[in-house]
């Protein structure tokens, strides 16, 4: 079973209030090779899906993802699964950018600020991206996201918390602002069906493993950008 519990779930046993409404039972054991893909559905894959849902992407659509963490990577995967023809990721970590390429990103930008905005402009003939996913949650990333969004485009904020958003800029450029907290439990059944059916595989976001006893080592690896997402085993 997996789910989202506000009091944490990294323990040998967890009591979950209202479990019948929050947890999802999965018929597999700990040796099932699909387990990492299923575990990604507890958080980062639903968030990536949430970031692109409602954008009505087509092969002509361009998506720019700000940030190469697990949520940003899953946003790349979700955008490609939704049919986007071009997916640009803005990030700085070679190991994570390799995962983005595996997930189908078409372009990688490793620069920041003005250079990053100019690079997106070059790739889109000055138009900008139809959908911009901000998956970092700091002011610089938010500013970049707004700059690279096309007029009439969509800005999806899933990195939170955010500081100042230039609402007048959004108003004058007809930019739709979406995103917010992810209702993961709503998305899990459909995503789980895709994983178990072999149509979706977000498992590459887990690029390191730690035991429950050494979980602090896993957190340190993520904090030091030595791992994207750590899979915890007993």
Determine the pLDDT at residue 163: 79
By CB atoms closer than 10 A (0-12, 13-18, 19+), residue 4 is middle
Determine the pLDDT at residue 1: 40
**Per-residue pLDDT reduced to its tens digit, 147-182:** 999 999 999 999 987 779 999 999 999 999 999 999
The count of other CB atoms within 10 Å of the CB of residue 128 is 23
Q: Which domains does the chain have, with CATH numbers?
A: 19-43+183-233 (no CATH), 54-179 (3.40.50.720)
| Cα–Cα distance for residue pair 38/74, rounded to 1 Å | 13
| Cα–Cα distance for residue pair 89/129, rounded to 1 Å | 11
For the chain, the distance separating the N- and C-terminal CA atoms, rounded to the nearest angstrom, is 15
Residues of the chain with pLDDT under 50: 1-5
Give yes or no for a contact between 208 and 185, defined as CB atoms under 8 angstroms apart.
Answer: no
What is the DSSP secondary structure assignment for residue 24, as one 8-state letter? B
By CB atoms closer than 10 A (0-12, 13-18, 19+), residue 87 is buried
**CA-CA-CA-CA torsion sign (104, 108, 112, 118):** negative
pTM (2 decimals)?
0.92
Alpha helices in 82-205 (DSSP H): 94-102, 113-123, 139-148, 167-172, 184-196
């Amino acid at each position: 079973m997996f789910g989202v519990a506000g009091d944490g779930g990294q323990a040998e046993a967890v009591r979950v209030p209202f479990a019948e409404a929050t947890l999802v039972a999965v018929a597999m054991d700990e040796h099932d090779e699909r387990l990492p893909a299923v575990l990604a559905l507890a958080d980062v894959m639903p968030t990536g899906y949430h970031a692109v849902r409602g954008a009505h992407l087509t092969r002509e659509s361009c998506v720019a993802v700000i940030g190469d963490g697990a949520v940003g990577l899953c946003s790349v995967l979700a955008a490609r699964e939704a049919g986007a023809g071009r997916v640009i990721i803005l990030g700085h970590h070679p190991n994570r950018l390799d995962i983005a390429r595996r997930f189908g990103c078409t372009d990688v930008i490793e620069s920041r600020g003005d250079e990053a905005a100019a690079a997106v402009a070059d790739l889109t003939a000055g138009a900008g991206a139809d959908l911009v996913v901000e998956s970092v949650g700091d002011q610089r990333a938010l500013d970049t996201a707004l700059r690279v969004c096309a007029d009439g485009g969509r800005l999806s904020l899933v990195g939170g918390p955010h500081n100042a958003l230039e609402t007048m800029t959004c108003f004058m450029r007809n930019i739709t602002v979406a995103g917010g907290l992810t209702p993961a439990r709503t998305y899990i059944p459909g995503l789980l069906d895709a994983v178990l059916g072999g149509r979706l595989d977000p498992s590459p976001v887990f690029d390191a493993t730690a035991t429950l006893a050494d979980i602090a080592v896993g957190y340190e690896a993520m904090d030091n950008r030595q791992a994207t997402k750590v899979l915890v085993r007993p």
